[in-house]
């Protein structure tokens, strides 16, 4: 695999390509000002990012779209060079709801198409416009959907997913690893009792060796083994940092050592839905 800042796409079996590094665009609306996302996505395009991971649920798809359209209008990029991934939320897992949900995403983005549209999570909640439906006792309202699951996968040095990766490689399936830096550690959706990935001593020592940070080593590890990563940052210095992973490589032994850091730590456990009949994480992958 030849990965460079200018071209780091992985071919997909349908003839399309996916850039192996993308920008995650979820930012807690409570702590994010309007306009931050537009500025971040524009800066990311200037840095060289071409892949953007978003969702209607994130409430900022209109900002991602505005940034992309501005950069296309300025002539910095073409639509064909951009890869946008949108997501269908759990309250829309009914066949008739898919197209209107996608159209809402396209309307928010003001783009003609998305490059990838995935099921955000394989557990359905009561269909409708309330994204977090609960009954009068505060209990989540689950829904039985007929799901042919398409599922993106948490993946980082503390959760390296060896079995799943091997299976996908054998079947020519590209994995997109979410939370590649170990998340923002927001206690409302992250298991914060788990050890912080970026404080890992070995990742930091490799960083020192290559004059890189633990974050860059964690990202390099995944792209070097073909896993697409979508680190989120709205901070220009960190976006730049996360993009500078094409100018060094880990040795085979270092790759094995990082793989050995695996602790099966899943940061995003979604335990509030652990009694959902389709809860995905009881199964081994
Ligand atoms: P920020 O947006 O302020 O940069 P993940 O992609 O695993 O979900 O992690 C995202 C979190 O990691 C965000 O809180 C983001 O904050 C932070 N982050 C992104 N890049 C880096 C980096 N290079 N070093 C440290 N923290 C980072």
**What is the mean predicted confidence (pLDDT) over 266-285?**
90
Would you give the DSSP letter of residue 81? G
Say if residue 275's pLDDT is above 90.
yes
Say which range, 52-61, 95-104, 132-141, 216-225, has the weakest mean pLDDT.
95-104
DSSP string, 91-104: GG-SHHHHHHHHHH
252 touches 260 (CB < 8 A): no
* pLDDT for the residue numbered 148: 62
Q: Write down the pTM of the prediction.
A: 0.94
Tell me which residue of 285, 212, 198 sits closest to 248, measured CA to CA: 212
What pLDDT, in 10s, does the model give residues 105-130? 999 999 999 999 999 988 999 999 99
* Helix, strand and coil in the chain, % to nearest 5: 40, 15, 50
In this model, does residue 152 exceed pLDDT 70?
Answer: no
| pLDDT on residue 198 | 97
Q: Which residues contact 191 (CB under 8 A, 6 or more apart)?
A: 265, 266, 267, 268, 269, 271
DSSP 134: B
Q: Whose CA is nearest to atom 4 of ligand 1?
A: 233
Cα separation, 41 vs 50, in Å, equals 10
Q: How much is the pLDDT for 6?
A: 96
Other C-beta atoms lying within 10 Å of the C-beta of residue 17: 17
Instruction: Please give the distance, rounded to the nearest whole angstrom, from the Cα atom of residue 61 to the centre of ligand 1.
Output: 19
Give ∠ CA 57-63-101 in degrees, rounded to 5: 35
C-alpha of residue 38 to centroid of ligand 1, in Å: 17
Question: Which one of the listed residues 26, 49, 58, 178 is annotated catalytic?
Answer: 58
Output the DSSP codes for 17-41. Answer: EEESB-EE----GGG--TTHHHHHH
Whether residue 161 contacts residue 155, with contact meaning beta carbons closer than 8 Å, is answered with yes
Q: How far apart are CA 242 and CA 184, in angstroms?
A: 15
Q: Where are the beta strands (DSSP E) in the chain?
A: 9-11, 17-19, 23-24, 51-53, 83-88, 116-119, 153-154, 176-178, 228-229
Residue whose CA is at the smallest distance from ligand 1 atom 19 = 233
- Name the residue among 117, 9, 145, 139 with its Cα closest to residue 55: 117
Looking at residues 125-152, what average pLDDT do you find? 86
- For 136, phi and psi rounded to 5 degrees? -70, -15
CA distance 159 to 182: 9
Identify whether 84 is a catalytic site residue: no
How confident is the model over 17-30, as a mean pLDDT?
97
Distance of CA 52 to the CA centre of its chain: 9
Within 10 Å of residue 168's Cβ, how many Cβ atoms? Answer: 16
Q: Whose C-alpha lies nearest to ligand 1, atom 12? A: 184
pLDDT for 96: 84
CA distance 179 to 216: 14
Picking from 272, 254, 179, 251, the residue whose alpha carbon sits closest to that of residue 219 is 179
Q: Across all residues in the chain, what is the average pLDDT?
A: 94
pLDDT digit string, tens, across residues 163-212: 999 999 999 999 999 999 999 999 998 999 999 999 999 999 999 999 99
Q: Which residues pair with 159 in a beta bridge?
A: 156
Let me know: does 220 contact 64? Beta carbons within 8 Å: no
Cα 4 vs. chain centroid, distance in angstroms? 20
The reply to whether ligand 1 has any atom less than 6 angstroms from the CB of 179 is: yes
């Amino acid at each position: 695999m030849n990965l460079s800042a200018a071209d780091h796409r992985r071919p997909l079996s349908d003839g399309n390509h996916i850039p192996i590094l993308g920008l995650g665009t979820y930012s807690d609306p409570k702590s994010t000002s309007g306009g931050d996302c537009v500025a971040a996505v524009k800066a990311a395009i200037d840095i060289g990012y071409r892949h953007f991971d978003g969702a209607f649920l994130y409430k900022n798809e209109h900002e991602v779209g505005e940034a992309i359209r501005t950069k296309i209008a300025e002539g910095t990029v073409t639509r064909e060079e951009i890869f946008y991934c949108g997501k269908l939320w759990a309250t829309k897992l009914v066949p008739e709801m898919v197209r209107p949900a996608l159209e809402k995403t396209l309307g928010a983005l003001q783009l003609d198409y998305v490059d990838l549209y995935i099921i955000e999570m394989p557990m359905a909640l009561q269909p409708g416009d309330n994204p977090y439906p609960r009954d009068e006792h505060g209990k989540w309202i689950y829904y039985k959907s007929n799901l042919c699951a398409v599922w993106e996968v948490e993946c980082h040095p503390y959760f390296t997913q060896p079995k799943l990766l091997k299976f996908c490689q054998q079947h020519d399936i590209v994995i997109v690893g979410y939370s590649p830096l170990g998340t923002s550690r927001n206690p409302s959706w992250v298991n914060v009792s788990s050890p912080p990935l970026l404080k890992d001593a070995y990742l930091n020592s490799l960083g020192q060796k290559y004059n890189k940070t633990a974050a860059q080593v964690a990202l390099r590890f995944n792209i070097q083994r073909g896993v697409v990563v979508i680190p989120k940052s709205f901070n220009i210095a960190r976006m730049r940092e996360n993009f500078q992973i094409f100018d060094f490589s880990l040795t085979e032994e270092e790759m094995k050592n990082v793989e050995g850091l695996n602790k099966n730590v899943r940061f995003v456990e979604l335990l509030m839905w652990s009694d959902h009949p389709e809860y995905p994480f009881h199964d081994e992958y």
